Copies of this chain bind each other. A is one copy, B any other.
């Protein structure tokens, strides 16, 4: 029998709640998404999924990624390279990014203190936070040398 990953379970619950179905294409896209780390664009995912099933179209990847974001499994990130990228969100600590403007690499970091200060600053202004993003641009260690 097939093992169901916790991510798949979350997705199935989400789809059920929305009265949508877990189709083979959607399943394939989710599997590839959770199976690979990193910051992947729709095009990245499209190409990998295509290797396994060439019938999957570009549009379906776009639409499925939207569902994944909506279900809380993925997060859109902006790495300033002209396209939306996605990263895992399930069971993953929130974090931010440092983006190297030379080599394009990105470092993930997390600072609880910064997070707390953001929440405090928001509360003080009567702002109800649903999400936040912090990007630090510059040169990574190896590009500094």
State whether A109 touches B137 (Cβ < 8 A): no
Q: Main SS of the interface on chain A? A: strand
Chain B residue contacts of A129, Cβ below 8 A: 98, 136-138
Cβ distance A124 to chain B, nearest Cβ, rounded Å: 9
State whether B140 touches A122 (Cβ < 8 A): no
Residue A126, interface by CB 8 Å: yes
Residue A37, interface by CB 8 Å: no
Stretch at the interface among A23-31, A46-54, A58-66, A111-119: A111-119
Closest B residue to A110 by beta carbon equals B121
State whether B127 touches A139 (Cβ < 8 A): yes
Residue A81, interface by CB 8 Å: no
Separation of A114 and B134 alpha carbons in the complex (Å): 11
Residue A2, interface by CB 8 Å: no
Residue A36, interface by CB 8 Å: no
Residue A55, interface by CB 8 Å: no
Chain B residue contacts of A101, Cβ below 8 A: 130
Q: Spell out A's residues near B (CB within 8 Å).
A: 78, 98, 100-101, 107, 109, 111, 113-114, 117-118, 121-122, 125-141, 144
